[in-house]
Structure 1
C-alpha cells in the first residue's frame, strides 16, 4: 500500500462528511490502494480542508491520534458497507457499533460569535471533536432513508462510496470528472476498436 504524508488535497464531494472521510483510503481494495492519513500532519491537513472545526497550523496530531482516526475510518466503512450491501447495518457487528458509539460520545465543536459577529466553531480538542462529528454523521446516515442513496463507484479502480443526489437515483460514478470520464473514454476506445475490426 502506498502512503503519503504531505497530502494537501483530499477528495471531497461524496455528499456526507463520513463518506468523504472514508475516501482517505484511496483506491480501496485495489493494487493502487493509498493511505492518505499515515501520520498526524496528514490528519491535520484533512481536518483543515474538510472539517468544520478550525485546527491551528501549529497543531500536529500524534501518531496515536492518526491511528485512532484510521481505526474510526475503517469502522465507518464497515458500518456503511453493511448497510448498503445487506440493508442491515447491524450485520457489521457489535465491535464496530461500540467503536462508533464511543467516538460519537466525545464532545463536538461548539459555535460562538467572533469579534466580527461571525459564527466560529471551536473545540478544546479539535481532532477528537472532528472524529466525533464523523462518527455521528455515520450513525445518522445508516439510520436514515438517505442510506438507500449510498452507492459504490462503478469505476473498477476506485472503491469510493458516495451519496447519489441525482433525481433519478442512477448515478454510477463518484465523480464524472474522474471515474465517469475514464469509463466513457474506455467505452469510446472499445467502440472504435470494434469498428476498426468491422472494416
Structure 2
C-alpha cells in the first residue's frame, strides 16, 4: 500500500536525509518501504519538491531509480561518516550521486503578476537532482560532522543535529525521544527505583 504524503517524515534538517528516511526502520526486522511504487514517489515529490502537486503518472517507471539513488546516498553518507571516509569502496554510490546531481534542477520563473513558480521538463528527475546535490553538499561540507543516528533502537534514522551543544540524541523528541522517556518512567515504576535518564 503506498504511503500518503502525510505519512512521510520530515524534519531531519536536510532534504537528502528526509529522502533516505523513506526506508523506515532501516536495518531492523521491521524495515518498511515507503516508496514501493510510482504513486508513492509522486506523493513524496509533491510534498518535498517546490510544486504543490505532481501528477502520479509523472513518476511512472521512476520508483526503482529513486530507491537506487536513496541507497547510494545512504551508502555515501555512511562511508563519509566512517573512519576511512569516502574511498574506493564508495566509488559506485559516489558516481551515481554525482551523475544524478548533474541533471537539471527546477528552474524559477515569474508569472505575469510577478509571482514566482518553478518549472522542470521532468519534475521527478529534477527533484532527484536536488536531492543528489544536497547529498553532495552534505558529504563534502562541514555539516557532515553534525549528522547523527537516532538513538531509538527501532529507528536509527539520520538527522542533522543543529542544537548548540551538538548532543541531540533523537530524530524527534515527539516520537523517539518521547517513547524513550515513557519507557524510563515505566521501568522506574516497575522496579521502584530510578532508571537511566534518556536525555
Q: TM-score, normalised by structure 1?
A: 0.91
d(CA) in 1 for partners of 2:116, 2:89: 37
Query: Which residue does 1:147 correspond to in 2?
Result: 144
Task: Describe the SS at the equivalent of 2:126.
Answer: helix
Which of 65, 68, 89 is equivalent to 1:71?
A: 68
* Kept in 1: contact 2:35–2:63 (CA 8 A): yes
Query: Which residue does 1:109 correspond to in 2?
Result: 106
* Kept in 2: contact 1:78–1:92 (CA 8 A): no
Query: Which residue does 2:187 correspond to in 1?
Result: 190
Given the alignment of the two structures, is residue 33 of structure 1 paired with residue 38 of structure 2, yes or no? no
Given the alignment of the two structures, is residue 130 of structure 1 paired with residue 127 of structure 2, yes or no? yes
Gaps of 5+ in 1: none
Query: Which residue does 1:12 correspond to in 2?
Result: 10
Task: Describe the SS at the equivalent of 2:50.
Answer: coil
Q: How does 1:149-164 map to 2 (within 5 A)?
A: 149-164=146-161
Query: Which residue does 2:87 correspond to in 1?
Result: 90
d(CA) in 1 for partners of 2:5, 2:44: 8
Q: What count of residue pairs does the alignment treat as equivalent?
A: 193
d(CA) in 1 for partners of 2:4, 2:31: 15
Query: Which residue does 2:20 correspond to in 1?
Result: 22
d(CA) in 1 for partners of 2:89, 2:147: 16
d(CA) in 2 for partners of 1:91, 1:78: 12
Larger mean Cα displacement after TM superposition, 96-105 or 45-54: 45-54
Larger mean Cα displacement after TM superposition, 117-126 or 17-26: 117-126
Let me know the Cα RMSD of the aligned residues: 1.8
Alpha-carbon shift at residue 52 of structure 1 (Å): 2.1
Q: TM-score, normalised by structure 2?
A: 0.91
Which of 97, 100, 103 is equivalent to 1:100?
A: 97
d(CA) in 2 for partners of 1:160, 1:57: 29
